[in-house]
């Protein structure tokens, strides 16, 4: 492997990184303001901060995706210039993203080999194969090499992403919310292995996360950003979770979770009867799913990801045609068409809003008007669109839901991940809601936003909305749901009122024992 | 916007001005890149000319003179821009929904043929306004159905719209030939197989004081109307959502298929109308001269204008000018007529390549998409 040989022996040793006075302005908005952080060689460093604090911007500057307005970076105490990602790779700095960048139809081995900058035009697979196996010997990560990546679980894919960086001989890894798509067990496995490599001095890790659990369990040191400034750092062992959260949000009060209002004898609102659907490979993904949600009830659907949850949400939101089955609201047949969505007041949102619910290049104001653009006042008479009520509405929502955006005109793709989520939430939840369909609503949100969004969902329930909540986070379901259903291999395998079950029983059902 | 004030460095007094300046900087990208692309194609074309032993300076000055230098060349240019505007709209409207339609020429040919065919039985008795009205309607219907068919194939059967529109162009040409060389051939015209002429007196007149027919005005008015449709109506808004993110459009319950179908039909109607104008203002009958490549140059116009109906007008005039200078270049420099087509092709290629530079030039870099 030319890449590995091109560096002197011992170059795999962990490197240290420092930024000095890093500042990045996007037009009038200063996303990073004089940020100096220090990541020691061989340490596991966590980067914390609320949504929009500037975490992703900081690491993108280090990776050469953005050019800082001012400030510099030091690698092993030597000043370096990083004009582009290639330069970062040459210095041994690699990045793993929240979302996968692998080619799904290729095998793990193929993905690794083509990722190299010096892949020859004709690949000698036998030789590459040997080299790969020799390389795998040196790492603790084990991934099936010959399966198409599309057949791997989320945990295996994330391991492969990390493996790819190691294969490219990067010795400083930046991870931007690497565990948001993993189950807690998968996250533990991946982070545990990385931790082992940092302890052995082979690797330095800088990880962005919103999960304190991961910080206390795996990180040595932590740096906290707030509104673009570095507001604190230190050894994890010297800090409590309380200290860290106070650094993140200052004295801002966290929204109390709303009290659950008691309902009794509410009418049936949403009924799903005998729903079947196929996945993208035309294999059965949903089989005879039956669900009932009453007014003022949150039905939580738990399950390990990839058991048909996303297909269920897609069918309910009109992104996938069911092969059989029906949906009823108030006893009347329902299909996800705009007219019926409006008359039955059906709303919803899910994870990855830029992929599922927003148009990345349209402005924040336009994205916030998707539900209302064809109604008074934005459309004062049939067919006409009037921009000023649209802007006014957007300004109101931005203020009410505290969306951080430079202006209503900013393309929504430029907002931080958490703020895109907030903007979409504001759009879907601000009207009168009778049926709410949500999937993993808190992916990628900081803890204050998580508390707030869960409170909003509870508010809707208390007001009498029927809520269908699909979540891979069991804690979220335990906190919010009135009734829990477990989905496994495309079927509902377990249903119970929340007060007559517990975590262990649900976990058991999720693992497929029923 | 309570929260924006919290950003460090965002002081409200100067922010308005800065934001404005920033927006200017960002939108200037949409002018700077196409202009650079034109410049680069000019250089490449000069190399081509030098290889032929011709002087690029002569060529460009002839293009200037032949396209824009005299009032005569201006009129020639404007006459050619009218159909270009309409065929460019045939690309631009579906493009807003993410559809790449390249078969506008087919809708033009069929629209022109439909107009000429329906005129045959009417010419003896119909007054001119009625005749022209019916012809225009026929061309709109023919073109609309033709490209609407592309949208329907895409929506109901998932057929790639680019390929199907191109194949339908060949079918449209065959239909024209079939009738013009057969049942509808004018027996009194021994030269070129054509339909019966609609007659001098029935043809569309010129804008007073010029040799430019009213089609130019029709094109400009349509550009404004379609700009309003795409930017100021709920239909246009829904279309932009669909083009920007199909999944989001579905999740909003938008009738995605109907939107595609309707915009394709509108697009086809524009190109069909171009065919009507060629018949009713230039040729007076339908024959193979309808296949003059306006539909294909329209693709270039729309891409150069980044599918913005208002920008299409000046771009169509610009390319109309290049086309108009073809004759002069041929006579003075002893170059074949097709030379300007080489230039057009080069421009198109460079424009397509330049699409990949948005957000990547150093000046715009920090704003752009990454990864
Ligand atoms: N390309 C860009 N253009 C304009 N503004 C941007 C761009 N990228 C980021 N920003 C702004 O910079 C600020 C910081 O964003 P960043 O993505 O770094 O936040 P973050 O800390 O990663 O948040 P999250 O936890 O939500 O991902 C945000 O207010 C965002 O709107
Ligand atoms: Mg981020």
pLDDT tens digits, one per residue of B11-66: 444 556 666 766 677 677 778 888 889 899 999 999 999 998 888 998 999 889 98
Q: Give me the half-sphere count of Cα atoms (radius 13 Å) on the Cβ side of residue A428.
A: 29
At A29 the pLDDT is 82
In this predicted model, which residue has the larger pLDDT, A13 or A375?
A375
Pocket of ligand 1 (CB under 6 A): A 26, 29, 31, 49, 51-57, 404, 414-419; B 367
Q: Which atom of ligand 1 is nearest to the CA of B7?
A: 29
Query: What is d(CA A487, CA A490) in angstroms, rounded to the nearest whole number?
Result: 6
- Which of A33, A67, A402 minimises the CB distance to B9? A33
Give the pLDDT band of residue A252 (cuts 50, 70, 90). confident
At B22 the pLDDT is 64
Residue A381 burial (C-beta neighbours within 10 Å; 0-12, 13-18, 19+): exposed
Closest residue of A to B367, CA-based? A26
In terms of residues, how long is chain A? 514
Interface of A with B in 222-281 (CB under 8 A): 227-229
C-alpha of residue A365 to centroid of ligand 2, in Å: 21
Give the pLDDT band of residue A402 (cuts 50, 70, 90). confident
Residue A195 burial (C-beta neighbours within 10 Å; 0-12, 13-18, 19+): middle
CA distances from B301 to A287, B84, B310, B348 (A): 51, 7, 12, 9
At A3 the pLDDT is 42
Is B253's CB within 8 Å of A336's CB? yes
From chain A, the residues in CB contact with B18 under 8 A are: 27-28
Determine the distance in angstroms separating the CA of B143 from the nearest CA of chain A, rounded to an integer. Answer: 25
Helix/strand/coil (H/E/C) assignment for every residue in A282-337: CCEEEEEEEEEEECCCEEEEECCCCCCHHHHHHHHHCCCCCCEEEEEECCEECCCC
- Residue in the block written with tokens 């089955």: A325
Determine the distance in angstroms separating the CA of A511 from the nearest CA of chain B, rounded to an integer. Answer: 31
Query: What is d(CA B243, CA B256) in angstroms, rounded to the nearest whole number?
Result: 10
Interface membership of A395 toward B (CB under 8 Å):
yes
**Which residues are found with C-beta within 5 Å of the ion, ligand 2?**
A 56, 417
At B362 the pLDDT is 63
Q: Where are the domains of chain B?
A: 76-340
- A470, pLDDT greater than 60: yes
Contact A170, A121 (CB under 8 A): no
Q: Which atom of ligand 1 is nearest to the CA of A53?
A: 21
Determine the distance in angstroms separating the CA of A119 from the nearest CA of chain B, rounded to an integer. Answer: 20
Interface membership of A358 toward B (CB under 8 Å):
yes
C-alpha of residue A175 to centroid of ligand 2, in Å: 11
Q: Give the residue among A331, A315, A322, A352 at the shortest CA–CA distance from A468.
A: A315
In terms of residues, how long is chain B? 371
DSSP structural state of residue A151: G
Determine the distance in angstroms separating the CA of B355 from the nearest CA of chain A, rounded to an integer. Answer: 15
- Which contacts of A334-341 are long-range, i.e. CB under 8 A and separated by 24 or more positions? A336/B250, A336/B251, A336/B253, A337/B253, A337/B255, A338/A374, A338/B252, A338/B253, A338/B254, A338/B255, A339/B253, A340/B253, A341/B252, A341/B253
At B9 the pLDDT is 39
- B357, pLDDT greater than 50: yes
From chain B, the residues in CB contact with A405 under 8 A are: 4
User: In this predicted complex, what is the ipTM?
Assistant: 0.82
At B368 the pLDDT is 37
Span of A129-138, A389-398, A489-498, B50-59 with lowest mean pLDDT: A129-138
Contacts of B327 (CB under 8 A, 6+ apart): B66, B337
Determine the distance in angstroms separating the CA of B120 from the nearest CA of chain A, rounded to an integer. Answer: 39
Residue A154 in tokens: 């989320």
Determine the distance in angstroms separating the CA of A450 from the nearest CA of chain B, rounded to an integer. Answer: 18
- B177, pLDDT greater than 60: yes
Interface membership of A345 toward B (CB under 8 Å):
no
At B309 the pLDDT is 95
Query: What is d(CA A207, CA A66) in angstroms, rounded to the nearest whole number?
Result: 18
Between helices B326-333 and B339-354, what is the axis angle to 10°?
120
Contact A195, A36 (CB under 8 A): no
Condensed to tens digits (0 to 9), the pLDDT of residues A208-250 reads 998 899 999 999 999 999 999 999 999 999 999 888 888 888 7
pLDDT > 90: percent of chain B? 59
DSSP structural state of residue A261: P
- B254, pLDDT greater than 80: yes
Contact B343, B67 (CB under 8 A): no
- Which contacts of A279-288 are long-range, i.e. CB under 8 A and separated by 24 or more positions? A279/A311, A284/A490, A285/A311, A285/A490, A286/A311, A286/A312, A286/A315, A286/A322, A286/A490, A287/A489, A287/A490, A287/A491, A288/A325, A288/A491
Contact B253, B75 (CB under 8 A): no
- Which of A29, A336, A366 minimises the CB distance to B10? A29
Task: With residue A128 as reference, give the H or E element that holds it.
Answer: helix A125-137
Hey, which of A28, A52, A66 would you mutate to test ligand 1's pocket, going by the most ligand atoms within 8 Å of its Cβ? Answer: A52
Residue B78 in tokens: 């404007």
Task: With residue B166 as reference, give the H or E element that holds it.
Answer: helix B161-180
At B371 the pLDDT is 32
Beta bridge partners of A73: A19, A80
- Which of A338, A404, A407 minimises the CB distance to B253? A338
From chain A, the residues in CB contact with B367 under 8 A are: 26-27, 414
- Which of helix, strand or coil describes residue A105? coil
Closest residue of A to B234, CA-based? A383
Beta bridge partners of A435: A346, A466
From chain B, the residues in CB contact with A317 under 8 A are: 250-251
Which residue segments constitute the domains of chain A, with CATH numbers given? 17-249 (3.40.50.300), 285-510 (3.40.50.300)
- A358, pLDDT greater than 70: yes
Residue B183 burial (C-beta neighbours within 10 Å; 0-12, 13-18, 19+): exposed
Q: Report which protein residue has its CA nearest ligand 1's atom 31.
A: A415
Is B241's CB within 8 Å of A340's CB? no
- B274, pLDDT greater than 90: yes
- Residue in the block written with tokens 């980044």: B306
Span of A53-57, A184-188, A347-351, B88-92 with lowest mean pLDDT: A184-188
Span of A254-263, A275-284, B192-201 with lowest mean pLDDT: A254-263
Interface membership of B19 toward A (CB under 8 Å):
yes
Is B233's CB within 8 Å of A383's CB? yes
At A246 the pLDDT is 87
Contacts of B349 (CB under 8 A, 6+ apart): B41
Mean pLDDT of B64-76: 90
Condensed to tens digits (0 to 9), the pLDDT of residues A76-104 reads 999 999 998 889 999 999 998 877 788 88
Contact A465, A295 (CB under 8 A): yes
Task: With residue A137 as reference, give the H or E element that holds it.
Answer: helix A125-137
- B107, pLDDT greater than 90: yes
- Which of B19, B236, B247 minimises the CB distance to A355? B247
At A364 the pLDDT is 96
In this predicted model, which residue has the larger pLDDT, A128 or B41?
B41
Q: Which atom of ligand 1 is nearest to the CA of A415?
A: 31
CA B153, distance to chain mean position in Å, is 22
Q: How many other CB atoms are there within 10 angstroms of residue B201's CB atom?
A: 6
C-alpha of residue B282 to centroid of ligand 2, in Å: 60
Q: Give me the half-sphere count of Cα atoms (radius 13 Å) on the Cβ side of residue B103.
A: 31
Query: What is d(CA A487, CA A477) in angstroms, rounded to the nearest whole number?
Result: 13
Q: Which atom of ligand 1 is nearest to the CA of A405?
A: 31
Condensed to tens digits (0 to 9), the pLDDT of residues B299-348 reads 999 998 989 999 999 999 999 998 888 888 888 888 887 888 888 889 98
Give the pLDDT band of residue A1 (cuts 50, 70, 90). very low
Contacts of A321 (CB under 8 A, 6+ apart): A277, A315
Mean pLDDT of A375-400: 90
DSSP structural state of residue A275: E
In this predicted model, which residue has the larger pLDDT, A270 or A255?
A270
Q: Give me the half-sphere count of Cα atoms (radius 13 Å) on the Cβ side of residue B334.
A: 4
- Which of A318, A362, A395 minimises the CB distance to B1? A395
Looking at domain B76-340, which of 3.30.750, 3.40.50, 1.10.3470, 1.10.10 is its CATH number?
1.10.3470
- Which of B9, B238, B366 minimises the CB distance to A30? B9
Between helices B56-64 and B326-333, what is the axis angle to 10°?
140
From chain B, the residues in CB contact with A97 under 8 A are: 371
In this predicted model, which residue has the larger pLDDT, B23 or A174?
A174
Residue B262 in tokens: 């309707």
At B90 the pLDDT is 97
Is the whole model's pTM more than 0.90, yes or no? no
Q: Does the bond joining A377 to the residue before it have cis omega, within 30 degrees of 0? A: yes
CA distances from A312 to A425, A469, A502 (A): 20, 11, 24
């Amino acid at each position: 492997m030319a890449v590995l040989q091109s560096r002197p022996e011992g170059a795999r040793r962990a490197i240290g990184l420092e930024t000095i006075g890093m500042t990045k302005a996007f037009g009038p908005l200063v996303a990073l303001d004089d940020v100096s952080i220090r990541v020691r060689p061989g340490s596991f460093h966590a980067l914390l901060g609320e949504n929009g604090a500037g975490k992703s911007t900081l690491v993108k500057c280090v990776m050469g995706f953005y050019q800082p307005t001012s400030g510099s970076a030091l690698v092993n105490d030597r000043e370096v210039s990083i004009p582009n990602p290639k330069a970062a790779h040459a210095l041994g700095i690699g990045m793993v993203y929240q979302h996968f960048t692998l080619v799904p139809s290729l095998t793990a081995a193929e993905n690794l080999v083509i990722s190299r900058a010096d892949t020859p035009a004709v690949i000698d697979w036998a030789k590459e194969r040997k080299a790969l196996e020799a390389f795998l010997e040196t790492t603790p990560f084990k991934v099936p090499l010959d399966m198409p990546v599309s057949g791997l679980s989320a945990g295996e894919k994330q391991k492969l992403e990390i493996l790819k960086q190691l294969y490219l001989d990067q010795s400083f890894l930046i991870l931007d919310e690497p565990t948001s798509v993993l189950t807690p067990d998968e996250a533990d496995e991946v982070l545990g292995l990385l931790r082992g490599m940092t302890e052995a001095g082979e690797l330095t890790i800088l990880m962005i996360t919103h999960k304190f659990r991961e910080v206390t369990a795996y990180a040595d040191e932590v740096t906290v950003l707030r509104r673009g400034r570095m507001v604190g750092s230190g050894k994890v062992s010297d800090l409590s979770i309380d200290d860290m959260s106070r650094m993140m949000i200052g004295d801002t009060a966290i929204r109390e979770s709303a009290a659950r209002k008691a309902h009794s004898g509410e009418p049936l609102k949403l009924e799903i009867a005998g729903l079947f659907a196929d996945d993208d490979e035309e294999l059965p993904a949903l089989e005879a799913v039956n669900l009932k949600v009453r007014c003022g009830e949150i039905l939580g659907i738990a399950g390990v990801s990839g058991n048909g949850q996303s297909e269920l949400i897609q069918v309910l939101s009109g992104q996938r045609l069911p092969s059989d089955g029906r949906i009823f609201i108030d006893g009347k047949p329902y299909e996800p068409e705009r007219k019926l969505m409006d008359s039955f007041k059906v709303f919803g949102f899910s994870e990855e809003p830029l992929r599922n619910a927003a148009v990345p290049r349209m402005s924040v104001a336009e994205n916030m008007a998707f539900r209302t653009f064809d109604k008074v006042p934005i459309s004062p008479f049939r067919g006409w669109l009037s921009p000023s009520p649209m802007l006014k509405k957007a300004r109101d929502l931005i203020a009410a839901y505290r969306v951080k955006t430079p202006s209503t005109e900013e393309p929504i793709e430029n907002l931080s991940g958490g703020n895109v989520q907030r903007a979409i939430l504001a759009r879907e939840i601000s009207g009168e809601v009778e049926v709410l369909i949500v999937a993993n609503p808190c992916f990628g949100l900081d803890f204050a936003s998580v508390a707030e969004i869960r409170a909003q969902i509870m508010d809707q329930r208390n007001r009498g909305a029927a809520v269908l909540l699909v979540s891979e986070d069991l804690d979220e379901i335990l906190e919010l749901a009135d009734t829990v259903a477990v989905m496994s291999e495309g079927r509902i395998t377990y249903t119970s009122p929340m007060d007559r079950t517990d975590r262990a029983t649900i976990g058991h059902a999720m693992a497929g024992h029923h | 916007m309570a929260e924006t004030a919290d950003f460090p460095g965002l002081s409200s007094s100067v922010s308005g001005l800065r934001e404005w300046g920033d927006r200017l900087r960002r939108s200037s990208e949409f002018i700077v890149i196409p202009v650079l692309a034109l410049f680069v194609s000019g250089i490449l074309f000069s190399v081509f000319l030098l290889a032929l032993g011709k002087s690029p300076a002569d060529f460009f000055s002839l293009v200037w003179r032949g396209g824009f230098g005299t009032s005569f060349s201006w009129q020639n240019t404007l006459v050619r821009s009218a159909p270009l505007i309409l065929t460019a709209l045939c690309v631009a409207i579906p493009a807003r929904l993410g559809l790449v339609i390249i078969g506008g020429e087919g809708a033009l040919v069929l629209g022109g043929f439909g107009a000429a065919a329906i005129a045959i039985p009417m010419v003896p008795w119909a007054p001119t306004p009625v005749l022209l009205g019916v012809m225009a309607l026929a061309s709109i219907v023919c073109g609309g159905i033709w490209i609407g068919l592309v949208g329907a194939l895409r929506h109901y059967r998932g057929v790639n719209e680019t390929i199907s529109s191109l194949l339908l162009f060949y079918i449209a040409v065959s239909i024209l030939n079939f009738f013009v060389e057969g049942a509808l051939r004018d027996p009194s015209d021994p030269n070129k197989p054509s339909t019966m002429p609609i007659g001098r007196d029935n043809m569309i007149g010129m804008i007073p004081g010029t040799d430019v027919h009213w089609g130019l005005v029709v094109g400009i008015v349509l550009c404004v109307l379609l700009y309003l449709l795409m930017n100021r109506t709920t239909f246009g808004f829904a279309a932009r959502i669909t083009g920007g993110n199909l999944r989001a459009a579905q999740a909003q319950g938008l009738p995605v298929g109907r939107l595609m179908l309707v915009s394709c039909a509108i697009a086809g109607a524009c190109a069909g109308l171009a065919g009507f104008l060629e018949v009713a203002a230039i040729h007076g009958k339908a024959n193979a001269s309808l296949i003059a490549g306006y539909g294909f140059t329209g693709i270039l116009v729309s891409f150069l204008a980044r599918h913005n109906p208002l920008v299409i007008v000046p771009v169509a005039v610009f390319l109309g000018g290049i086309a108009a200078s073809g004759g002069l270049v041929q006579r003075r420099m002893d170059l074949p007529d097709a030379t300007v087509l080489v230039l057009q092709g080069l421009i198109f290629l460079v424009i397509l390549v330049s699409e990949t530079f948005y957000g990547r030039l150093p000046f715009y870099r920090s704003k752009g998409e990454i990864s």
